[in-house]
Chain A
Amino acid sequence: MIRYTLTRFGLLLLGLFVASVLIFTTLRVLPGDIAQLIAGTGSTPEQIAGIRERLGLNQPLPLQYLDWIGGVFRGDLGSSLLTGKSVVSELAEKSEVTVPLGILSLIIAVVISVPLGVLSAMRRGRADGTALSVGAQTLAAVPVVWAGMMLVVVFAVWLGWLPAQGFPRAGWSDPWAAFRALLLPALTIGIVEGAMLLRFVRSATLQAVGQDFVRTAAAKGLTRNSALLRHGLPVVGLSIITVLGLQVAGIIVGAVVIEELFSLPGIGRMLVTDVGARDLPKVQGELLALTGFVLIVGFVVDLVHRILDPRQREAA
């Protein structure tokens, strides 16, 4: 187990390093730079050169990379070329929106998908099971943006229960208002992600039904459903944990879209704005933090899976 953990950890570090190089180099391929954007239309080449010089954009690329990665090891992700604010503090501020949004979305997705997925598997072949399955298939194919707009029209414009967009300026000092602001966006991500998860839960459950130990339990006198619930579900649970790890990346991508749609001041919207503004120190800091988070979640999921699954534990 220790060897396994160390190997996985080594791979995690390697993944982070590769990600940092990829992030740094791909961003340098983008045409245009921030000096041009600051100078804007009506500028002269001399003006742009002056700004570029002052921002340190003239340094050789390897030097810029070492500068950046050296800072990362000290916990310093650099600072914005536009506002001078540190990337770490900006990330901390914006995560007040994005982290609760992600957690809420994940909860909604799980609450929808697990019971309904198991139900639809147990009811396979019957009308309600088929209806659930077809419904999930349809929902999973719905674009997040469209789902969000429909929810806004119903709950914000028609019923007036929830805000249509934005986040309270007072932030979490008014927890109820902040929660209300996140509910529709989280529902939007949660329903679409949940529908995808539901299909997974259903097929994992169906697979479990066919397993030898479930059949054996049934042969020993349990009904098919209680055999499944008692012996099959732990296996399904394991698979769900694995998929949830992947789902986190999906939720982050969803947050980028949804924060734009709902004008939420979160990490996703900040990222889109910063890419547009070519504020590269900020973009690479944000991307490294996000990819790092996804990689770490993957690492943790692998370990948890290992610990929970007795078959894998023994194999180790």
Chain B
Amino acid sequence: MLRRTVLAASALLAASALVLTACSGGAAPTPTTTGKPDPDASVAIRLVLEPGNLDIRETAGAALDQILVDNIYQGLVARTPQQEIVPALASDWTVSPDGLTYTFTLREDVTFHDGQELTPQDVVWSLTTRKNTPEWRDSSRLANVTSIAADGQDIVLTLSEPDSSLLWNLTGRAGLVLKEGDDVDYKTKANGTGPFILDSWRQGDSITFSRNDSYWGEPAQVAEIVFDYIPDNQAALNAALAGEVDVVTGFDANLKEQIEGSGDFQLVLGQSTDKGVLAFNQTSGPLSDKRVRQAIRQAIDHDAFVEALASGETLYGPIPALDPGHEDLSDVAPYDPEAAQALLEEAGVEDLQLTLTIPNFYATTIPQILVSDLNEVGITLKVESVDFSTWLNDVYINKDYDLSFVLHTEARDFENWANPDYYFTYDNPKVQELFAQSLAATDEAEAAGLLAKAARIVSEDAAGDWLYSGASVVAVGTNITGMPSINVNERLNLAEIAKSNG
């Protein structure tokens, strides 16, 4: 008997070694509604990925930015879903003609959620600490800033050289303003200046925000937001049909008819900066030959991904349509299995066997398409589905892989192609130079032009492949207005969401 219980116990151990939840992309906008917004309403929003903790200073992951930035924490400037830069805690700002001095005017009468006042010194302290603490996220994005000082309500940033990405960076983690010397337990609590207050976090279940009634701007139009973490799309569909959630983000566009069938939801597809990146480890072996990489790209039928996901669009270069520097690069790697075979022959490669390392929360259709497309041209693809920690360790840190697939959701992340140490293992000095020039440009159009040039080279070098550009797939209740639809995976600004009883 005892032996059997030991066996049962070890079976339990083994079972728990299996792992992990799912994640995907998502977003939603604003259908029409007839009823009046209810200021006491509570809106339940399904999200996919729950943050491990809420430490906005240090913990990586879009799951934190998605809900905490804009809603709870704010910076001097913010970005709209359309990716425009707009005032936030600064009412206004100016940039000197040489691009070396940024002067922000800080709003007055702003308070933190715990009632403490926001002072210019808080801003100086937040930015300085961010810059000087490497463990804090995006600390290096302030590398060009040489001095951060307050002059009355003015905050002055001085740079060592122009940085066309500085304002953009200030809309993200690098620019968030915290209270100096705050003793809040950032891992499980929050204290910001945004339109919502963190009310509670029921780990493994939900996070609840309540309206900040002493918000400096327009107060939120709902009393409460509940983020329900439901990893499985089918479970999310059931929850929606049973009336348990008002909005479903990260949804599967293939379930459009099921969710719209009830008449209570509308499926909305928004643009996103999600890039399905197929990375090539090009340091050695057959993949160091550009012809082999190009052959793989041309062997892949990119339209098949868009069709299988029932959302998104094709993407043939590193910059998605929402980001500056995007251009249509479909001419660089058109689908042509015969050309692919010819390239492989030319490179003298036969019976190529490759392994694809892919985190296990992505749809299995992605590796399936790749396996069959590559098989067509004589490449045998073995799929290794791993949990995200394993991917981070093997692929990201140790660069121990042939091919890797990950959905890169970050906006404006071209820098990874200009960083030879990144797991993409792509090293082209010309691209690095163009990227540096685009950063140093003081004119936005000029910066974008330089990026576009660099992106074309990256694509022509077949430095990687871009299987698709994802869409934000969101199902929105017909009584909900003001739900953003663009890039909802990355940022979910809920300042304008409203719910009517009608």
Contacts and interface: CB of A to CB of B under 8 A. Distances in A.
Interface of A: 8, 11-12, 15, 18-19, 22-23, 26, 30-33, 36-48, 50-51, 54, 82-85, 90, 94, 149, 152-153, 156-157, 160, 163-167, 169, 242, 245-246, 249-250, 252-253, 256, 260-266, 269-273, 275-279, 283, 287, 290-291, 294-295, 297-299, 301-302, 305
B2 A298 contact: yes
Interface residues of B, number: 64
7 smallest CB-CB distances across A and B, nearest first, come from A40-B60, A298-B5, A32-B389, A32-B393, A249-B8, A265-B205, A265-B204
Nearest to B58: A38
A245 B396 contact: no
B305 to A, nearest CB: 22
Contacts of A165: 230, 235, 238-239, 244
Given A156-B242, A287-B13, A85 B188 contact: yes
Contacts of A298: 1-2, 4-6, 8
21 contacts: A22-B10, A22-B13, A32-B388, A32-B394, A36-B389, A36-B397, A40-B137, A40-B392, A42-B138, A47-B134, A153-B238, A156-B238, A262-B235, A263-B230, A263-B239, A287-B12, A290-B12, A290-B16, A291-B12, A295-B5, A297-B5
Contacts of A37: 52, 60, 388-389, 392
B111 interface: no
A50 B133 CA distance: 11
B187 A84 contact: yes
A164 B9 contact: no
B53 A275 contact: no
Contacts of B58: 38, 51
Nearest to A43: B60
B203 interface: yes
B60 A38 contact: yes
Contacts of A167: 205
Contact of B19 (A169, A275, A302): A275
Interface string B90-115: 00000000000000000000000000
Interface in B456-488: none
Task: Name which of B12, B185, B206, B244 has the most chain A CB atoms within 10 A of its CB.
Answer: B12
Contacts of A90: 203
Interface in B43-85: 50, 52-53, 58-61
A82 B52 contact: yes
Interface in B8-55: 8-13, 15-17, 19-21, 50, 52-53
B373 interface: no
Nearest to A249: B8
B336 interface: no
B387 interface: yes
B21 A260 contact: yes
Contacts of B200: 169
Contact of B206 (A41, A169, A275, A287): A169
Contact of A265 (B1, B187, B202, B241): B202
B393 A40 contact: no
A266 B12 CA distance: 16
A291 B208 contact: no
Nearest to B389: A32
Contact of A50 (B134, B204, B235, B408): B134
Task: Name which of B15, B134, B185 has the most chain A CB atoms within 10 A of its CB.
Answer: B15
A94 B231 CA distance: 18
B307 interface: no
Contacts of A94: 204
Nearest to B226: A169
B135 interface: yes
B283 interface: no
A154 to B, nearest CB: 11
B129 interface: no
A164 B238 contact: yes
